[in-house]
Structure 1
């Protein structure tokens, strides 16, 4: 009986709010439960800093969902081995010839191009990216994506990515 009342109340709230308001409410609930999914508003998406001060973004690369650590100091989007596979890349066919100097020392990487990287309402096509030979274990959202959107800002513990105009 309690489930029936819950459904009736939910239906009445839905009718009162309207479809768009329900979508906004669900997006807000989703962003609270999963901060990396972001909070979308009018051509931008906002992410709260985690307790360690870093920003994580749940995005898609070649249609595959993955989590990226935002790294404004990284020249390129960089994929972990697991995320590269999810994006449809065959690691055994990549050419690891590009020498990189990272915080963890020197490593070789393969250059790849991602068809599209999408974060909420933002989509960038033909994104240059790297796959390091040694698995970094984390994917980075670097400047090959960030420099091609409308901009970004960090304020009061929030990162906002803006769509290009």
Structure 2
């Protein structure tokens, strides 16, 4: 029968850590200042884990996107006709866009010629490859093969892009990118400090919150 707990002979440190933690909690309950210190340490740990999670995988889980939008910590706001995006903890700009009835986060990359969709995002938005000759794209990890596609409408804030050409490939992993073929459609875009400012030619009314 397999043991349910670590063997004390080989995992003594595990039990020592538990014992120390239990003793610390018991002492903290009796001494107000220690109770406060333990509580603050716990919240600091939770905050650190949240920063790491949001900084490293903002694209992976659509539930994370919804939580970030609900808590208004994704840094995407509308000011007049502009859309302003605050730099994420990972040093990049991520935009929450809506296309094909689904909402996804996309990385803004002025070094990318084309807007690129991961295979999962394209499938969720109902965007299928158009066929024809595959596109070969040079990346930092080498040349990858992608299929051409087209997004009928991509929308966020006051900005709407229609009939937008994209490339689709499983090689993109979980990341989708807004490239120069999207940015060139704007009236202007610029970075001020840690904020990306996007200005459309024809601003649209932002969607109302559900």
Task: Specify which of 150, 156, 180 is matched with residue 119 of structure 1.
Answer: 156
Q: Distance in 1 between matches of 2:132 and 2:124?
A: 18
Tell me whether 1:62 sits opposite 2:100 in the alignment: yes
Tell me whether 1:33 sits opposite 2:79 in the alignment: no
Aligned residues: 135
Match of 2:110 in 1: 72
Instruction: Check 1:98–1:62 CA distance in 2 against 1; reply closer, same or farther (3 A cut).
Output: same
Q: Distance in 2 between matches of 1:87 and 1:101?
A: 25
Relative contact order, CA 8 A, sep 6+: which one is greater?
Answer: 1
Cα root mean square deviation, aligned: 2.2
Secondary structure of the structure 1 residue equivalent to 2:168: strand
**Alignment check: 8 A CA contact 1:108 1:133 kept:** no
Larger radius of gyration: 2
**Runs of 5+ consecutive residues of structure 2 not aligned to the other structure:** 1-67, 203-210
TM-score, with length taken from structure 1: 0.73
**Runs of 5+ consecutive residues of structure 1 not aligned to the other structure:** 1-28
TM-score, with length taken from structure 2: 0.58
Secondary structure of the structure 2 residue equivalent to 1:107: strand
